[in-house]
Amino acid sequence: MRQSSLSEELSAISHEYDYGIVPKSAAVFMRDETNGIGRLDLTLLEDVMIVIEVSNQGYKVTSVLPASDDIACKKAAKQVELHVDQLYETMESLLMSLSPMFCERFQQVLFEKLEAVHNQRQEHELSNTTFEPNDFLNSHDSP
């Protein structure tokens, strides 16, 4: 767990991953601060509902259910079932292992953030560069 408390971690999970799961699908349904265990369900973009257990040991899927009778959905659920009870260190690694669509969105969001940092840096460098007309003339005097 990354947060200082189970409640904070569960709250963060239920909001931070909407870009890569069915938005607003994450719902906490069990919070046991004494034993340090929480459970939430969410729906992957592949239309597979999962139950995730969060503890000090990490994150694991405890239950999988296809959200529809669609063949692709059932196939995705079968793939997710292979990961039941496997412990993950981070929520990101769990979701990337289960959902190719989450992985795609994660990479897209990361690229957009890196691009924004790059653009900010370029703007900052340009705003700190002063240009004197003589500098331009002097640099073009020699062949």
What pLDDT is recorded for position 113? 92
In terms of Cβ atoms closer than 10 Å to its own Cβ (0-12, 13-18, 19+), residue 64 is buried
Return d(Cα 47, Cα 33) in angstroms, integer.
30
Residue 136's pLDDT is 54
- pLDDT for residue 5: 86
For residues 79 and 74, give the distance between their C-alpha atoms in angstroms, rounded to a whole number: 9
Topology (CATH level 3) of domain 6-102 = copper amine oxidase-like fold (3.30.2280)
Q: Given a cut of 90, is residue 98 above it in pLDDT?
A: yes
Report pLDDT for 1: 59
The identity of residue 119, as a single letter, is N
pLDDT for res 19: 93
Neighbour order of strands in the sheet with 37-43: 27-32, 37-43, 48-55, 58-66
Pairing of strands 37-43, 48-55: antiparallel
Query: Would you say residue 25 has pLDDT above 90?
Result: yes
For residues 33-58, give the mean pLDDT.
Answer: 95
SS3 state of residue 35: coil
- The single-letter code of the amino acid at 18 is D
Domain residue spans in the chain? 6-102
Structure tokens that stand for 15 in this block: 């909001």
Residue 69, pLDDT > 90, answer yes
Does the pLDDT value for residue 137 go beyond 70? Answer: no
Residue-averaged pLDDT of the chain: 89
What is the C-alpha to C-alpha distance for residues 49 and 67, in angstroms, rounded to an integer? Answer: 6
**Looking at the predicted structure, is the pLDDT value of residue 11 above 60?**
yes
Q: Measure the CA–CA gap between 70 and 48, rounded to whole angstroms.
A: 11
SS3 60: strand
Higher local confidence (pLDDT), 49 or 128:
49
Angle at 73 between CA 69 and CA 78, to 5 degrees: 110
* Joined tokens for residue 96: 């990337």
Of 102 and 123, more confident: 102
